[in-house]
């Protein structure tokens, strides 16, 4: 009976996360600042490692998310970035699930500029999953990203996860392509669009914007899933509160705290 219960719960987790690692789903909420120059922070660099080129001071961030308000689908993340001119290194860890079913990702990344208009980045990922009484599986894969600054206001980028089509145990990992474009109307207002293609699933399109009302307060809005966020800056610390909504599965609350050493 206990094995049956664990099996049922794990199957539900797999279905709810699109048969995919929780942090890799095409419907995962994105940060609008990924495709920009003036809206970068540590978690945009997790989504596209080329963004590391524009994080030029030591930074750190932690994030917690409870997908669809289910404890079994909780996700915790931590990121540290260390500049090493001419680029920046990042170290991150993500853990999802609960005591009977856990997924983990460890990553080391590096990004740098190639001239004034182009930056590139790469991350090596160690992925693992464990199901109580059923064992565990591990694998290593990688992801690549680039950002192109077409004009001072217009920015575009590409990101590819798992191009070698690795498996995690007997389960195939998705190959995920992401293409985005962002337009900085001003240094305080950004509009961006992202298209995510995951294996043979229909592409998901997201439209997002971020507006800095004052230096200490900004608002973000997005679609697919519908989400809204507010961030507050207190000295060297920035705090994000957000929530997204799936029409069938419900709400997902998310909180992030980012610390950044100020430039001298």
- Which pLDDT tens digits describe the chain residue by residue (264 residues)? 444 434 434 444 443 343 455 555 545 567 788 999 889 989 999 999 999 999 999 999 999 988 888 888 888 999 999 999 999 999 999 998 887 888 999 999 999 999 899 999 999 999 998 888 788 899 999 999 999 999 999 999 999 999 998 988 888 888 999 999 999 999 999 999 999 998 878 888 999 999 999 989 999 988 877 788 899 998 889 999 988 887 788 888 889 999 988 764
- pLDDT reported for residue 249: 80
- pLDDT reported for residue 256: 92
Please give the Cα distance from 256 to 46 (Å, whole number): 13
What residues contact residue 243 under an 8 Å CB cut-off, 6+ apart?
Answer: 227, 228, 229, 251, 252, 253, 254
Burial 103-142 (b: 16+ CB within 10 A, else e): bbbebebbbbbeeeeebbbbbebebbbbbbeeeeeebebb
Tell me the helices (H) and strands (E) count for the chain, helix number first: 2, 16
- pLDDT reported for residue 17: 40
Beta bridge partners of 77: 63, 94
Please give the Cα distance from 20 to 125 (Å, whole number): 15
Please give the Cα distance from 211 to 6 (Å, whole number): 44
CATH assignment, 22-260: 2.40.160.40
């Amino acid at each position: 009976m206990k094995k049956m219960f664990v099996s049922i719960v794990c199957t539900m987790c797999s279905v709810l996360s699109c048969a995919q690692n929780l942090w890799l789903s095409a419907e995962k909420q994105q940060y609008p600042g990924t495709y920009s120059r003036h809206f970068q922070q540590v978690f945009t660099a997790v989504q596209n490692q080329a963004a590391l080129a524009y994080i030029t001071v030591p930074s750190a961030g932690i994030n917690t998310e409870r997908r669809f308000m289910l404890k079994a689908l909780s996700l915790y993340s931590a990121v540290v970035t260390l500049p090493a001119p001419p680029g920046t290194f990042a170290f991150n860890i993500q853990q999802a699930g609960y005591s009977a079913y856990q997924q983990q990702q460890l990553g080391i990344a590096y990004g740098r500029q190639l001239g004034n208009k182009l930056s590139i980045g790469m991350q090596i990922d160690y992925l693992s999953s464990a199901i109580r009484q059923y064992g565990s599986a591990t694998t290593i894969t990688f992801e690549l990203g680039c950002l192109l600054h077409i004009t001072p206001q217009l920015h575009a980028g590409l990101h590819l996860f798992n191009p070698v089509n690795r498996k995690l145990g007997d389960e195939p990992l998705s190959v995920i392509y992401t293409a985005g474009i962002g337009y900085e109307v001003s240094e305080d207002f950004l509009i961006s669009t992202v298209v995510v293609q995951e294996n043979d699933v229909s592409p998901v399109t997201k439209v997002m914007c971020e507006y800095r009302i004052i230096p200490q307060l900004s608002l973000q809005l997005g679609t697919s899933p519908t989400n809204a966020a507010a961030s507050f800056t207190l000295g060297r610390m920035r705090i994000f509160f957000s929530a997204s909504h799936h029409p069938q599965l419900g709400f997902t609350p998310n909180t992030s705290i980012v610390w950044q050493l100020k430039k001298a």
